[in-house]
Amino acid sequence: MKFFGAVFFFTLTAAADKPGLPDGPGKQTTEKLCSACHGVNIFVNRRESRDGWNSLVEEMIRHGMQGEDEEVGEVSTYLAKHLSRSTPAPRVNVNQSTARELAVGLGIAESKTRVIVKYREANGNFKNIEDLFKVPGIETQPIEAKRNEIDY
């Protein structure tokens, strides 16, 4: 069991907690619609294509997201423009980050990044993206989208 790193990294989590959404038309509507259930920090560092954001928004509607059609359209447009794959995102180190930091850094839920951390503790550091994809139940698509921002 290699979980020696976890305790120390717990103390480093606070600083990365308050990233905001980039300015632009639709930002306020996005904050309104997308922070009803979880913080916007769950997706500020996520990067997707237009189709990727559209299907994520549909997923959130299935989770119960409320909003007028117009607002939902505005949000999808905002996300596709401001959090597109061509917008650089901060780097994330998958061997040194806590579950919380990984959630913000990779734009996936903390329930999932906890599985990544457990896997890392049991199997040692990740060497490359293929190693990451071995984590049971991992969603490859958001990680693939951030391939160039991931450090090992």
Interface ranges with ligand HEC (CB under 6 A): 33-34, 36-38, 42-43, 46, 56-57, 60, 63-65, 75, 107-109, 111-112, 139
Residue 36 or residue 124: which is nearer to ligand HEC going by CB?
A: 36
Q: How many CB atoms lie within 10 A of CB 103?
A: 25
Q: Which is nearer to ligand HEC, 2 or 36 (CB)?
A: 36
Helix (H) or strand (E) holding 82: helix 69-82
Residues 6 or more apart from 54 whose CB is under 8 A from it?
A: 76, 80
Distance CA 118, CA 134 (A): 12
CA gap 81, 75 in Å, rounded: 10
SS3 of 150, please?
strand
Q: Which is nearer to ligand HEC, 24 or 124 (CB)?
A: 24
CB of 106 to ligand HEC, least distance (A): 8
Q: Least distance from C-beta 60 to ligand HEC, angstroms? A: 4
With vertex at residue 76, the alpha carbon angle to CA 75 and CA 77, rounded to the nearest 5 degrees, is 90
CB of 54 to ligand HEC, least distance (A): 10
Minimum separation from the CB atom of position 8 to ligand HEC (A): 25
Pick 8 or 37: Cβ nearer ligand HEC: 37
